[in-house]
Chains A and B, each alone.
Chain A
């Protein structure tokens, strides 16, 4: 078995596993059993690919960002255009995979957490498509900064519940989703949106998202007759990054995950679990790096992007870092914002603020590489949802 596959208890090395209250063990067993059976089911794969193509609009293009490349004067930058999928972000890939699974399991009520709202929108979309009841949990701070996505979810027929506990962001939305699930286990399917949580979620989400890297690898090979030198993707929970990286893990390709550096290095000012002081802990069902204090209380986080604003990171990333396969860097709020503006004005593509962290790193890295080199940046989502936040942030900065 590849060293990139978890063991049967969902561990990649020491990371992952299943840390949940007893009530959730049976539904997780049921989920694992059903998923593993479908993982190799040709009919399920056909159905999944059909919806990816005809509903979500795959394959997405691999696009050479010529003007940005020229301006930076280094490696060629290719963008994997997940922003062009239906609903505007990579989240739809996983939502389709899991909704098909939920249907096969006979579940009638779907719940999900959302940070930036992209996973919530993707979930509400597939629920509308299949006529299933949909409840989305979202921190009230995120509701404030991602209002457009809240309207979209409601338009799609989802019930959006504001979560007022903790830091009122993604982590708290996950807690509330877990509480709902533990209360309604029999008819409810928890459609988790990132490569985190208890086994089998990190594996399953990774599998559903790995279509990104499979396409990108094939597209790049076809175009260039070789493999790219580097891959870059932003990392909150880590689903778009692992989705891009997975197909390249056995190749000689450098990979860089970019965390949210926020507004400073102090605990509470960022969401850089690797880059700035996280250590191994257990949060929301999995063992991974967690930003926390010495007593094991989970720290508040900050990022200009709601989707990266999370205290932990998917366990597979913790493992890939531990074995030295993937590098992790961070980009600050300001760097992300500059990249947001740069890509918009140079390429005519407005990226999500999450994605802008990956772009920010690419902007730093490209000039250090030769013009013969090539990198693929996962353009994980579009930025329409962020325009109000960006305007607000720019105004705030102008007033200082």
Chain B
């Protein structure tokens, strides 16, 4: 069983819900990303999403765009993200999912990527802009290397597509909470709950909800109906703030710690 599947299995049997933080790899630099990820794992993150920086992040809002640009300004490339993952894996068993646009992966070579990623302890890859047949081809390459293809589902996804996507997906489904780009919003939409309900009808895969989740209240709300909550822009924004103040990993740890008041006692709550 893959690291991702067993993590969800553990959560399920403990009656807990998952927490999936996202950070852009190499923002502000690779060493700091390494320390942030270990701090997140230590706080109880169930899966780490590592963003692969890209010059044209069309599905991202301003916060993650800026963080991508900071990483690119440091010359961070896909091979650095794979190496970062290898270092994380040496110190932690936390599952790692890369979150990337297709072009950097395509230029690296999909077969080579799947081989190198699996060998470096990466567990899954989410390709933001691959759907349908293209996603199926990528999924086949990933699977033959023991990697999960993590797929997005959206409120605009029809039931028919949901079933198709789920059939090609592994690990978990990533439900986009609303039509839109990444970025913190003050409330989650009812569309997310409806989407998760529709996904449950066609698959047994765990469902995580992301896009716009930035407060503990929102996390708890998502935990009521989904298997995990993804928090991205709120953490990335904290990294951005911390850059000028110094001690980035410590500040991020404190921030995420405050986001997760319920982590310690979810076992009894659910």
Please give the residue numbers on chain B whose beta carbons come within 8 Å of chain A beta carbons, in ascending order: 54-61, 65, 72, 77-78, 101-108, 128-134, 151-158, 161, 165, 176, 179-181
Q: Please state if A17 and B156 are interface contacts (CB–CB under 8 Å).
A: no
Range of interface residues on chain A?
35 or more
Inter-chain CA distance A23–B165, complex, in Å, is 13
Q: Please state if A19 and B130 are interface contacts (CB–CB under 8 Å).
A: yes
- Tell me the minimal C-beta distance from A294 to chain B in angstroms: 7
Q: Please state if B107 and A294 are interface contacts (CB–CB under 8 Å).
A: yes
With contacts A166-B56, A296-B108, A298-B56 known, is A17 near B134, CB below 8 A?
yes
Inter-chain CA distance A166–B156, complex, in Å, is 29
Inter-chain CA distance A183–B55, complex, in Å, is 20
**Contact partner, B103, options A20, A184, A281, Cβ 8 Å:** A281
Q: Please state if B133 and A9 are interface contacts (CB–CB under 8 Å).
A: yes
Residues of B within 8 A of A24 (CB): 156
Question: Can you name 14 A-B pairs with beta carbons within 8 Å?
Answer: A18-B131, A20-B131, A22-B152, A22-B176, A25-B161, A166-B56, A175-B57, A183-B179, A184-B179, A284-B58, A292-B103, A296-B105, A296-B106, A297-B55
Inter-chain CA distance A26–B179, complex, in Å, is 11
Inter-chain CA distance A222–B181, complex, in Å, is 53
Inter-chain CA distance A305–B156, complex, in Å, is 38
Residues of A within 8 A of B65 (CB): 165
Q: Please state if A175 and B72 are interface contacts (CB–CB under 8 Å).
A: no
With contacts A290-B103, A297-B55 known, is A22 near B131, CB below 8 A?
yes
Residues of A within 8 A of B105 (CB): 296
Please give the residue numbers on chain A whose beta carbons come within 8 Å of chain B beta carbons, in ascending order: 9, 17-27, 165-166, 171, 175, 178-179, 182-186, 281-285, 290, 292, 294-298
Residues of A within 8 A of B104 (CB): 295-297
Inter-chain CA distance A283–B107, complex, in Å, is 12
Q: Please state if B156 and A26 are interface contacts (CB–CB under 8 Å).
A: yes
Inter-chain CA distance A284–B181, complex, in Å, is 15
Inter-chain CA distance A167–B98, complex, in Å, is 26
**Contact partner, A295, options B56, B78, B130, Cβ 8 Å:** B78
Q: Please state if A283 and B128 are interface contacts (CB–CB under 8 Å).
A: no
Give B175's nearest chain A residue, CB to CB.
A22
**Contact partner, A22, options B56, B58, B134, B153, Cβ 8 Å:** B153
- Tell me the minimal C-beta distance from B174 to chain A in angstroms: 9
Q: Please state if B78 and A185 are interface contacts (CB–CB under 8 Å).
A: no
Q: Please state if B157 and A285 are interface contacts (CB–CB under 8 Å).
A: no
Q: Please state if B58 and A179 are interface contacts (CB–CB under 8 Å).
A: yes
Give A290's nearest chain B residue, CB to CB.
B103
Residues of B within 8 A of A285 (CB): 129
Identify the 3 closest CB pairs spanning chains A and B, nearest first. A296-B107, A296-B104, A26-B156
- Tell me the minimal C-beta distance from A17 to chain B in angstroms: 7
Residues of A within 8 A of B176 (CB): 21-23
**Contact partner, A166, options B55, B128, B165, Cβ 8 Å:** B55
Q: Please state if B56 and A186 are interface contacts (CB–CB under 8 Å).
A: no
- Tell me the minimal C-beta distance from A20 to chain B in angstroms: 6
**Contact partner, A21, options B56, B58, B107, Cβ 8 Å:** B58
Q: Please state if A171 and B153 are interface contacts (CB–CB under 8 Å).
A: no
Inter-chain CA distance A215–B242, complex, in Å, is 61
Residues of B within 8 A of A23 (CB): 59, 152, 154-157, 176, 179-180
Give A172's nearest chain B residue, CB to CB.
B56
Give B176's nearest chain A residue, CB to CB.
A23
Residues of B within 8 A of A294 (CB): 107
Most chain A Cβ neighbours within 10 Å, of B54, B58, B130, B131: B58
Residues of A within 8 A of B72 (CB): 297
With contacts A183-B180, A297-B55 known, is A283 near B103, CB below 8 A?
yes
- Tell me the minimal C-beta distance from B110 to chain A in angstroms: 12
**Contact partner, A292, options B102, B107, B131, Cβ 8 Å:** B107
Inter-chain CA distance A297–B75, complex, in Å, is 10
Residues of A within 8 A of B181 (CB): 179, 182-183
Residues of A within 8 A of B108 (CB): 295-296
Inter-chain CA distance A22–B127, complex, in Å, is 10
Give A180's nearest chain B residue, CB to CB.
B181
With contacts A22-B153, A296-B78 known, is A182 near B107, CB below 8 A?
no
Inter-chain CA distance A186–B181, complex, in Å, is 15
Give B77's nearest chain A residue, CB to CB.
A295
- Tell me the minimal C-beta distance from B172 to chain A in angstroms: 15
20 additional contacts (CB under 8 A) given A26-B158, A165-B65, A297-B104: A9-B133, A18-B132, A19-B129, A21-B152, A26-B161, A27-B156, A166-B56, A171-B56, A183-B181, A184-B179, A185-B156, A282-B101, A282-B103, A283-B103, A290-B103, A295-B108, A296-B103, A296-B107, A296-B108, A298-B56
Inter-chain CA distance A294–B109, complex, in Å, is 11
Inter-chain CA distance A17–B128, complex, in Å, is 15
Most chain A Cβ neighbours within 10 Å, of B101, B156, B176: B156
